[in-house]
């Protein structure tokens, strides 16, 4: 089974990078050839995508970890704030993967766009690749993350991550801690309802991000599938042997 980390494109790129890496280890002043620079640019783009995707998976591990949850509950950090923090990071990283996929496409096809200027419009309207499978899939990816990017942009510009259910849970927990003398918060029935509501909400959020990770993984691998032959052609033109 192929994954974002263990796939043919990644293996070919890493193998192609080895000679240049060994030369640099042997001579710190060694200057990469033009072909080696191309290979490193593609390989580094792949590694950055891999790193960010692993962080998406780690977010699920953090949120599902009972020991981490227990530590947070025992600390002064509000549990819901900790939970929302990871949801915020998840939104940011899914958007970042889209940006990194654009950079990867730019590198593989040698479009010559600087990383800072590499955006969906510049890449998808480039006449050299506008009709390729890579462009088709990256457009679909950005359509898929449209709402996620809206959430991310709101966080960046307004510093606010809004989740009505989690905010309501957080408000209840804040009030029960702030106003401990009030008998209303000690109502066992109310406390039970809150606990059930919180548990169900958290389970739904974790399920959503797990499904999202699976979808992102599919998009990444589909884009890799459209790029591997182009990368292979570049290697062949540079007389670099590789196993497909």
Residue 7: count other Cβ atoms within 10 Å of its Cβ: 19
Q: Provide the terminal-to-terminal Cα distance of the chain, rounded to the nearest Å.
A: 16
pLDDT tens per residue across span 192-244: 777 888 889 999 999 999 999 999 999 999 999 999 999 999 999 998 877 76
Q: What is the pLDDT of residue 190?
A: 59
pLDDT at 242: 75
Residue-wise pLDDT for 149-183, tens only, equals 887 777 777 777 778 888 888 887 776 666 555 56
Whole-model pTM: value is 0.89
Separation CA 87–CA 97 (nearest Å): 16
For residue 41, give the nearest of 115, 94, 121, 136 by alpha carbon.
115
Average pLDDT, the chain: 89
Per-residue pLDDT, averaged over 27-40, amounts to 94
Evaluate if residue 185 carries a pLDDT over 70.
no
Query: What is the average pLDDT across 88-108?
Result: 96
């Amino acid at each position: 089974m192929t994954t974002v980390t263990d796939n043919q494109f990644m293996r070919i790129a890493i193998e192609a990078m080895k000679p240049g890496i060994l030369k640099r280890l042997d001579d710190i002043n060694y200057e990469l050839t033009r072909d080696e620079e191309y290979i490193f640019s593609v390989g580094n783009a792949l590694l950055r995508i891999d790193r960010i995707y692993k962080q998406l998976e780690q977010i699920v591990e953090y949120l599902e970890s009972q020991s981490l949850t227990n530590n947070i509950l025992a600390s002064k950090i509000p549990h819901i704030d900790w939970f929302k923090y990871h949801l915020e990071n998840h939104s940011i990283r899914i958007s970042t993967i889209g940006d990194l996929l654009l950079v990867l496409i730019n590198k593989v096809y040698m479009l010559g766009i600087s990383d800072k200027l590499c955006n969906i419009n510049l890449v998808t309207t480039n006449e050299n690749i506008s009709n390729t499978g890579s462009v088709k899939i990256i457009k679909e990816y950005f359509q898929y993350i449209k709402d996620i990017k809206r959430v991310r942009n709101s966080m960046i510009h307004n510093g606010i991550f809004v989740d009505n259910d989690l905010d309501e849970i957080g408000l209840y927990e804040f009030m029960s801690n702030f106003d401990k003398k009030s008998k209303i918060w000690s109502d066992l029935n109310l406390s039970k309802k809150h606990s059930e509501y919180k548990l169900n909400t958290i389970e739904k959020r974790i399920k959503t991000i797990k499904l999202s990770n699976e979808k992102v993984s599919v998009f990444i691998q589909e884009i890799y599938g459209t790029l591997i032959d182009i990368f292979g052609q570049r290697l062949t033109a540079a007389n670099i042997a590789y196993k497909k």
